[in-house]
Chain A
Amino acid sequence: MSFLKVETKIQEIKKAFHSSSDFASRVLSNEEDRLGFIYLKSITDNQLFAETIYKPIALTKKKLTIKTLQEEILKPNDVMEIEESEIIDNIIKGSIVIILEGEKKFVAVDLLKYPTRTPSEPPTSPVIMGPREGFTEDFKTNISLMRRRLASKDLVMKQLKIGSYSNTKVIITYLYGIADEKIVKKVEQRLKEIDIDGIIDSYYLVGFLQENENSMFRQVGMAEKPDIVASKLLEGKIGIIVDNSPIVLTVPFILFEDLQNSNDYYTNHHYSSFIRAIRLIGIVMAIISSGLYLALQLYHYNVLPLNFLITIADTTQGLPFTPFIEIVFIFFLFQILYEVSLRLPSYLGLATSVVGALILGDTGVKAGLISPPGVIIVAVSKIALYLVPQQSSQVTLLQVIFIVLGGSLGMLGVVGGLVYFTNYLNKIDSYGSPYLAPYSPRITNDLQDGIFKENIADIHLRPESFHNKNKVRLR
């Protein structure tokens, strides 16, 4: 390459960026040297640029070469010497590229500045007493949150890049010596094989990480808080931090993890056992109660206690709809209200709840369109759903299935559905962990942290449901 003119080079790069509006360039010339700065205004720190780069260079009396820039003038900064081919990459990453007239190589200074959130308590997993920090969209912050909790040299972070356009940074993190290397390799392999245009959120990876791909049950854990991820890493699981996503994925995953809540570990274990039992009952109720009610009303009224039956018979007498239509109608009404209240701003959310609860529920009953038992049953199943919010989407689908089963096949269908889904879940192995462990199959050691949780001081071993190397957690 012959003599390099700064302006020409700048024009060349600007063209590569399709003259984006946030593309910025400066040219600085003193007595002997001319140099150019190229960067993207939107992702670089302009003030820092002015004070730590532009000013020192403008004021220096030294001869400007790559060496002097790197070793003397810009020393406090993160300065790199780069090839011509790397210019665009570095600009995208938020660096300022300095072109020195007459030099074949270039200098890049990292001045990346994204708009970031400070770690705050995530809305989905609040705790009553316990750490309130949550992950943010900035993966550097997330890593530092993890490092703070697991200050060990064994906390390994492996970085990958996925997405041909998004170039998203994905970090596989695990504790060396605890996590099973085979699983780490398997996860890494799976992630490396992904050839996709972009990863916008960590959920994009879930489909690739699941072993049973075409399943309605999620087989990857999702956590929004560093304390949860840290405790999972200590159990031998593997975390996957994705840039731009406040959700960290963990594998292997078993269903019971969703019944465990971080609150359980920050309160008395007797109380957490009670709450876990309630959660389990609630989630089972959420799944089958509507279907069961339909089955009883349509096929098995003879097993209802007389007084209960009389209440139902009285309240459903004269309704314009058949029981099946009624339940489906109420169900969809609730689902619509739920969707609406999610989307609406909070001040309008109040209005929807008034409309939903008062007008639709109460007036619907008074007008004789729907029956109070029907409303209660569906409402209970819809509320109980949020005892385990992570599973709400799966459970909603199951509710629909069980309504159809209970309504069209009766109790035999409901029981058959339960047997079928249990069988189905038992078939799923998430990286060698039985999906319904520790109850099916029973893993005696893990029952300590099961429905009936024991004191932390009594749990000596890591869970056996997951493959891990170092069994002892408490000596």
Chain B
Amino acid sequence: MKKIINRFKKNPMALIFLIILVFFAPTALFAPGESTRCSIVTAVGVDKLGDEYEVSLLTFIPTANQTYLETNTVVTGKGKSVAEAISNAGLTLGKKICLSHAKTTVISTKLMEDDIAKDIDYLGRVASLSENTILICTDNPAKEFLLAAQTLEKDIGLKLEELISYNVDSVYVTDTSLEAFFKGYYSQTGASIIGYLKLASGDGEESASQGGQSSGQSGQSGEGESGGESGIDAQDNVSGYSSSQAGSGGSSSSSSSGGGSDKKVLNSGEVVLIKNGIKVDKLSAEQLHGINIINGNAINRTITVENVTDERYNNAMLTFLVKNKKVKITTKFENGHPIFRADVILGLELVEGKEGETNIRTNTELSDISDEVAVKVEQFLKNRFQNTLKVLRENKTDVIGVTQKFERENKKDFRKFLKSLDDPDDFLNYMNFELVIKVQPD
């Protein structure tokens, strides 16, 4: 005994190590990996049924396998609050719910008839959910949407988060995360934008889900990759599991998975305008583009102008790609009247052209941009901006950061201006917007 004590006296750290070995290692020895104790949630959906919340979680189910294979299922839980519903969902799954890998939050537009901030407050605060989780909405219940997303992945291997992050990077360009929503919500204007995805009952034609080519103005272009039998069979066992667990969700076993496979996620690049947590309007892809004209990050869009007649072309339809963009926004007051001015310099590249029915026969690489083209492009963009502005004015929502800009640069004048209005919320209607567009070849 004395020998042992002496030994530890010589090296007290050995004693600490022994304590760790004796008291902590045994519990760890028999602790299963965290991935088996906790569920891996990749998307969260929030619905409201009466005064109860129903939270659906797109959850990854580990299946014994040697390679990478992602099997998902949707579980639901109900509760008086979102947090309670989530923990109830954990009951049906038999695992602790961990949101740290959730990259998408889906809410149904029905929820947005009332202030949604109180519905998703928990999601904004919970530490494990990362700040850049994207918030999107859909007309159908969120649960149905997640089931459709599950099918989407089974069918064409496209993950919801991939689709959405494409949208965020290239279509919305604006930050549409939970964080951005709250930032807008708590700001003076209370306005924010969140992404919108549709569910369409799929009959094969409309069902293409990549927003790939649909950027900018060209709308949706269906390819219909997922043909007739849109893969319900692939993981029968899993969907069976999902539905049996999610029985409380109101949809019986077969209908739950069937409902998912029937409907397709449809990406049309639309967004929803929110003011004070309430949905006020929906912006189409074209209207969204109107906002993004003055967004320096929104490039790689196409601009198509028609009836171009100049020294090169005769009545041609030309499509340009925006290769680079410089935007400078200035604010000023003229006679007590606020002016919001955006100078946009576009670098364009001609990517496609038609003269009547025939293709143009010039080298487009080196083509210069004539004044006629420049005017047409300017006209095109201005129209688009005005259209969008009209919508924003109607809804009294400032999502282009006008308030923010004025607050920074002309705080006093702007506040005076707001005070002078009967309805300060409606200030967009009393403001002048100047859009100066300069076009140059890339």
Contact = CB atoms under 8 A, between A and B. Distances in A.
A420 B13 contact: yes
A433 B17 CA distance: 29
A313 interface: yes
Given A309-B35, A313-B35, A322 B98 contact: no
B35 A368 contact: no
A263 B32 CA distance: 46
Interface residues of A, number: 37
A325 B128 CA distance: 28
Contacts of B40: 306, 309-310, 313
Contacts of B25: 324, 404, 407-408
A214 interface: yes
Nearest to A403: B25
B28 interface: yes
A310 B60 contact: yes
A438 B66 CA distance: 45
B63 to A, nearest CB: 6
B11 interface: yes
Contact of B98 (A299, A302, A318, A372): A302
A366 B67 CA distance: 12
A298 B31 contact: yes
B69 A314 contact: yes
Interface in B1-47: 10-11, 13, 17, 20-21, 24-25, 27-36, 38, 40, 42
Contacts of B65: 314-315, 317
A301 interface: yes
Contacts, number: 105
Interface in B29-79: 29-36, 38, 40, 42, 60, 62-70
A302 B33 CA distance: 12
A393 interface: no
Given A298-B34, A302-B34, 8 more contacts: A315-B66, A316-B35, A316-B36, A317-B65, A322-B32, A324-B31, A408-B25, A409-B24
B20, B69, B98: residue with the most chain A Cβ atoms closer than 10 Å: B20
B242 to A, nearest CB: 17
Secondary structure type dominating chain A contacts: helix
Nearest to A216: B11
A311 interface: yes
Nearest to B25: A408
B100 interface: yes
Contacts of A409: 20, 24
A249 B416 CA distance: 85
16 contacts: A298-B33, A300-B34, A301-B35, A301-B98, A302-B98, A306-B103, A313-B62, A314-B65, A315-B66, A316-B33, A316-B36, A322-B29, A322-B32, A322-B33, A325-B30, A409-B24
Contact of A323 (B33, B64, B103): B33
Interface string A310-338: 11111111100011110000000000000
A310 B68 contact: yes
